[in-house]
Amino acid sequence: MRIAFALAGLGGFNAHGAGFLAAATKCGVVPELVTATSGQIVVLANWLAGKDLEAGLITDGGKTDPLAQLRALIFGDPGVFRPAYVEALARFTAVPDFSGGLLNLVADRLLPAQQYVPERRDADFEQITTTLNGSPIGVVFNTYDPRTGQGFLFGNDAARGLLPTEKAITNTRAETVRQEPGQHDLRYVSQAVVERDIHPITVDAVKSALWLSLYGFQNRPGGQMDGAYHRSCIVSELHVFDHVFVARPLAQGWRGKEPGNWFEVQDWQTEMWFSVAYKAEVDALKRINDLIEAGKITDANFKKVELVEIEPETPAGYFHYFVERPEVYDAAFKAAVEAFETHLAKPG
């Protein structure tokens, strides 16, 4: 059996992927390839390095701290990010730029895009890069260029030997052509965009993949940022495997009471947006499985892929996106152990 893992990163739920990987170690399940987005890249590197994943994410021995979320919101996460208080003060003392209008000027100063500043050291990024490149298990993660809307894949040597080296994507963009004064002709032009190869993993690639929108959109490493904003989970490339285990950060739907306040609405929106992106990611794989089952596809180049999804409980809670929680880790560990025992049990 060929096995792959897909880890979807989301702040406050990286403990979900950590619990999943810890369960894989306990059950002796070794995948050929692992895809990861956002913070799961760090979790994956720690797993490959043999580190204690729970201790690396959850402080104070796994004790639940009711004030942890508030402290992270105000003071940041030491060694990971800090609030951009100094940068906000610098904006107030800078010469005003009215080119975008007065309203934009006020918004940029009072409600800036940059909320936090990354604090990881260069040595941290170098260690992650070395670990991923040195792994015999294939590793793939992504970045995103918000200016062009294009995503990029990065992988180690093992990954490039397992996956296709090129993926063609056709985008459609709109062009407005002026004919006569006051008249416009809207034309749609197909533009072929190729997401070429799986690029080598570099320190700059890791930096880009961990650049959050809360860090602002200026000074992005290489002009790129966290690929989870483009593809929250990398699954579609894994059609060559027999079993794909996905540690998705959020559940399929909202199973609690209806949102009743602003914070619950924000939580609902986050969960739904991540769920929609994920459903689109796995749609083709599930469709091919259905067509094979119905006897519509008989070509030997196509085969059914068993997609096993491990998801956390919902609702998540708006303030739970800031700090990793032990209960998320424990629930993922238990669910993953059950999934491995159910789907990979040997005869007898």
The answer to whether the beta carbons of residues 342 and 32 sit under 8 Å apart is no
Residue 322's pLDDT is what? 79
Residue 249's pLDDT is what? 79
- The span from the CA of 207 to the CA of 219, in Å, is 11
Give pLDDT tens digits for 10-20.
Answer: 888 899 999 99
Give pLDDT tens digits for 161-207.
Answer: 998 655 444 444 444 444 444 443 333 333 334 445 799 999 999 99
Structure token digits, residue 40: 């799961």
- The span from the CA of 133 to the CA of 156, in Å, is 5
pLDDT band at 59 (very low <50, low <70, confident <90, very high): low
Span 334-345, average pLDDT: 92
- pTM for the model stands at 0.85
- The span from the CA of 180 to the CA of 282, in Å, is 46
Burial 270-295 (b: 16+ CB within 10 A, else e): bbeebbebbeebbeebeebbeebeee
Residue 166's pLDDT is what? 52
* Whole-Å CA distances, 122 to 97, 127, 144: 33, 9, 21
Residue 179's pLDDT is what? 43
- The span from the CA of 193 to the CA of 195, in Å, is 7
Span 23-50, average pLDDT: 96
DSSP states of 99-147 as a string?
TT-HHHHHHHHHS-S--EEE---HHHHHHHHHHHHT-SSEEEEEEEETT
Residue 183's pLDDT is what? 41
Give pLDDT tens digits for 268-288.
Answer: 888 888 888 888 888 888 999
**Residue 109: is its pLDDT beyond 70?**
yes
Other CB atoms closer than 10 Å to residue 85's CB: what's the count? 12
Residue 178's pLDDT is what? 44
Span 64-80, average pLDDT: 78
Residue 173's pLDDT is what? 47
